[in-house]
Amino acid sequence: MFTYAKVKDQPALLRTMTSLDRSEVEELVEPFRAAWAARVRQTALPAADRQRQPGGGRKPALRTIEDKLLFILYYFKCYPLQEVFGAEFGLSQERACEWVHILGPVLKEALATLNVLPERDAARLAAKLRESGETKFGIDGVERRIQRPRDAAEQVEYYSGKKRTHTVKNNVVVTIKSRQVKYLSQTHKGKKHDKKICDEAQPTFPPGSSLYQDTGFQGYAPADVKTWQPKKKPRGQDLSPQDKRRNQRISRVRIVVEHVLAGVKRCRIVKDVLRNTTEGFADLVMEIACGLHNFRTARRAQQRAAEPYFR
């Protein structure tokens, strides 16, 4: 059985299981503990309805807060089958599934306490971006595969012609310098186009900022924002040398967005086919994966800044 006490002194194993180092896990423990305590208070039975004192009864397999945190981080990072996952923590498949849905929202609240979750309200995005102190941003769509829906009408709605499979998708806005996901749109069915999602949400940007986008956002131009987009090759013609050089300059900046999305997808739950069909779960896991990416990059940037240049 996995416990935090067994893996905390094995740096490579801990990072493989959670995507985090020991210092990062331990920083996350206290807000996770507070979020767990808040959930216990909200779900506790009134004193008049209790048959035993709080803490009485059979002891859980996940005894400590650290074990609970390891449990949910491991699930997000490795996304194992729940039958195997439960056995690794001394739980049945049914109980493992129940704990996933209990601890997922608790992890989200812990990340919210650390202020690393992306903004979900497009109207408040400009204020969020101003707090970063940056002026260059990138926007892109990200698709995630899901199991094929059983309903024929849903199959049509979730089918992505671009990926040639059934997906859900979000738009993200990323800071180029700090490589943080500052905005995550609501989760939509795979048939919906990236630009249409953007047009409906209307994310806001600080005046005078620069926005790098790909050709999937053709025609998208927020007010008072300089947009940079590669030029498409005309049919039957070649781009001029000047256009090619311009596209290369844009791509060198825009590639940061792809690197950020690769960082988000360190959590295999948003990389592999999502097997869970619970309503709202696809949106929850993407928000948490973005929050974990922001948490990692921010803490490791602080660590690099604190290290001496010469060793």
Q: Are 103 and 72 in contact (CB under 8 A)?
A: yes
pLDDT at position 120: 95
Question: Mean pLDDT, 10 residues at a time, over the chain (311 residues)?
Answer: 92 95 96 94 73 71 93 97 93 94 96 96 94 94 94 93 93 95 96 92 94 90 91 88 92 94 96 93 97 96 76 54
Query: What's the pLDDT score for residue 118?
Result: 97
Q: pLDDT value at position 233?
A: 87
Round to whole Å and give the CA distance between 296 and 86.
27
Rounded CA-CA distance 77/15 in Å is 9
- Per-residue model confidence (pLDDT) at position 306: 77
* Cα 267 to Cα 104: distance, rounded to the nearest angstrom: 13
Per-residue confidence (pLDDT) for residue 235, from 0 to 100: 86
Give residue 308's pLDDT.
Answer: 72
pLDDT at 54: 67
Angstrom distance (rounded) from CA 168 to CA 171? 11
Q: List the alpha helices (DSSP H) in 149-236.
A: 152-158, 194-201
Residue 46's pLDDT is 73
Assessment of whether the complete model's pTM goes beyond 0.85? yes
The token pair at 186 is 């609501």
Q: What pLDDT was estimated at residue 266?
A: 95
